[in-house]
Amino acid sequence: MEYQQQLQRIKNGSGFIAALDQSGGSTPKALETYGVTGDAYDNDEVMFGLVHEMRARIMTCECFDNERVLGAILFEDTMEREVDGKPTANYLWEDKNIVPFLKVDKGLAEHMSGVQVMRPMPNLDLLLDKAKNYPVFGTKMRSVIYEPNIDGIELVVQQQFDVAKQIISKGLMPIVEPEVDINSTKKHDCELILKTNILHNLERLADDKQVMLKLTLPEEAGFYQELIDHPKVLKVVALSGGYSRNDACAKLKKNPGMIASFSRAFTEGLSKQQSDKDFADTINTSIDEIYQASKV
């Protein structure tokens, strides 16, 4: 029942998905941007505690509402912590009616064939079972494409869909994220190969199964319309990928049917030193700008 309610919310609701899933490698940068320097912590436990404070501050803001925010992607550590006295995913779903997702990948493998596939995830089943203890609807996993290397991109997409099937078998909705690096000198060539491979893998997916896709905003407006309209795709969401919020929103507006799932662009301008009012005003501006771009 809960899964079906969440499915309908993602399928028919308006808004965007907030990516609050910075993990071990990206947390120091996220904290530094937030105004917390490395000398404020001397181990991972303290570091993750500080970043959780930032995320909780965002989630408990009145403006972080289900009118504009459809879902939120969490890091495993965040899922296991509490917000306002409840496990984070429970707080999001029960108190806010915002759909929780969980980042499940363990980071990127070494650069090869113009791409970085995901590191092995030997304990994925255990993590998925853990997620099922909470009202987590789906998962997210990221690979990166740098060059239009046919073999490399095929490897990325095949791995993503193989893991997606494992996630579907556990009763969760996978967000497949084969990011194309925005600095690639042949970005559109990468996107052409990527779309072909995604369509091929969607054909091989059982007719009663769906995935979500998280893709870099394309060079050509409307380029992913075929994926947006595909019956085996629940939703296509866009990553900001290093674009500023203004640039990311401007590009998103040119791609009707895609909604945002921004991370850095979403938290842009936030600071630990801000008063609660300034913090709320800043995050409200961000939420509204991204929501309007996702509505087009």
Q: Which residues are catalytic?
A: 177, 214
Contact by Cβ (8 Å): 70, 16:
yes
Rg (alpha carbons) of the chain, rounded to whole number: 18
For residue 198, give the amino acid letter: I
Residue 263, Cβ neighbours under 10 Å: how many?
19
Closest CA to 214 of 292, 157, 283, 286: 157
Residue 201, C-beta contacts closer than 8 angstroms, at least 6 positions apart: 157, 158, 160, 161
Could you say which DSSP state residue 94 is in?
I
Contact by Cβ (8 Å): 87, 74:
no
With H, G, I as helix, E, B as strand and everything else as coil, classify residue 70.
Answer: strand
Pairing of strands 99-103, 173-180: unpaired
Contact by Cβ (8 Å): 219, 188:
yes
Closest CA to 36 of 51, 18, 26: 51
